[in-house]
Amino acid sequence: MKSLLGLAFTAALVTLQGCGGGGGGGDSAAPAVDEAGILENIKISNLYGGNAFSERDAYWGFEEYPECDDRSKLDDPEFEGDEGCPRVRSAPVDWEDETIGRLKKWDIASDGLIPVKHNNSQYAHHAMDVIETKMGVMLFDRNSIVNVDYYEVERGLIVSEGTATGMFGSISPSTCGTVESRGSQYALGGENSEDPSWFDENGVIFGPLVIHIGQDDPRGCSQGQDLNEIAVHEFMHALGMDTHFQGFGIGPIYSDDAWNVLHNILINYQYMDEFELNIEKRFPEQE
C-alpha cells in the first residue's frame, strides 16, 4: 500500500489503524458470511482499503453517501469536501499506486517469515501464538531482529507498548492500538519520511511497521479493554487487513469473518485482483 492500512488510514496514507476495542474477541453472535461476503470484506480491508479511491466501506460511510461512488468525481481534486460527498478524500499530488484493487501481503514464500522486534512484549507473543495457531502455519520470525536497532530494521514488525494514539497522534479513552509505517511523523522517533511506503509496486508488504499496544498516558485506553485481544487485532492489521469491516473492529474486535479474510490473504498470491482470488470459507471450522 504505499502508506495505508486502516487509518483510521488517516494521517492516512501513513497510519494503518487506530483501534479502541470493539465488541469482543474471537467469536460473534452473527453467522460468518459466505464466500461472496468474504470477497467483499477483502475488497474493503485490503484490495481497496485505506487508499484515496476506496470502494464502499462501512468506515467511510459510502452507504450513507452513495454519490461518493461516482468515479469521475473521485478523480476530480476539487471534489473532496463537496457537500454531496463530505467524506471523500482526494489522492495526494503525484499519488500513484498500481496496487489499488490488488492483493497486498507479506511474501513469506520468497522473503521468509516476518521478522518481529517484539521487545519482549507478552501481548505480542500472545498475538503471534493466537494467529499462528488459528491459521495453522508459522508466520513470524521472533529472533532475527530482536537486537537490531529500531532505525536499522529494513523488513518486519516493531512492537511498542504504551504508545498507541489515534488520528494525528491524539490520545483518547478508546485508543488502545495502532499500526503505522515507521516513516509516519507519529511513529516512535518522528521520522516523518518523505517516502513512508511499506509495500512495493507488486503488492509485497515489507514494512517496517510499528505496532503500538496500550497507552501509558492515563487519558488513553482507559475503558477496560483487553490488550491481548487488541494485540491480536493489531497484528491482523499488520498482516494486510487495513480498513475495519463488520466483524473486524465494527462489532467484534475480530470474529470468524476476520479470520476468513486473513486466511484468504495468506492462501492467495500478492497482486491478484478480485477476479483472480480463490476464496475459501474456512471458519467456523467444523468439528
Return the closest-CA partner of residue 104 out of 287, 257, 224, 277: 277
For position 1, what pLDDT does the model report? Answer: 38
Residue 172 and residue 16: Cα distance in Å, rounded?
A: 17
- 101 C-beta neighbours (distance < 10 Å), count: 16
Residue 265 has pLDDT above 80, yes or no: yes
The amino acid sitting at 211 is: I
Q: How many angstroms separate the CA atoms of 20 and 38, rounded? A: 23
Three cell numbers, residue 16: 494503518
Q: What is the pLDDT of residue 50?
A: 57
What's the pLDDT score for residue 198?
87
- The candidate with the shortest Cα–Cα distance to 261, out of 276, 279, 274, 286, is 279
Tens of pLDDT, residue by residue over 179-206, are 988 876 555 655 555 456 788 989 999 9
pTM of the model: 0.80
What confidence category does residue 27 fall into, taking pLDDT thresholds of 50, 70 and 90? low
Other Cβ atoms less than 10 A from the Cβ of 154: the count is 10
What are 75-94's pLDDT values in tens digits?
Answer: 555 554 454 554 444 444 44
Yes or no: say if 165 and 186 are a contact pair by the CB < 8 Å rule: yes
pLDDT at 232: 98
Between strands 177-181 and 15-19, the pairing is antiparallel
Give the contacts of 156 (CB within 8 A, at least 6 positions apart): 114, 115, 116, 117, 141, 145, 207, 208, 209
Q: Where are the domains of the chain?
A: 15-53+99-267, 54-90
The residue with cell 516493531 is 158
Cα–Cα distance, 230 to 227 (Å, whole number): 5
Q: Looking at residues 13-37, what average pLDDT do you find?
A: 66
User: 163 - beta bridge partners?
Assistant: 215
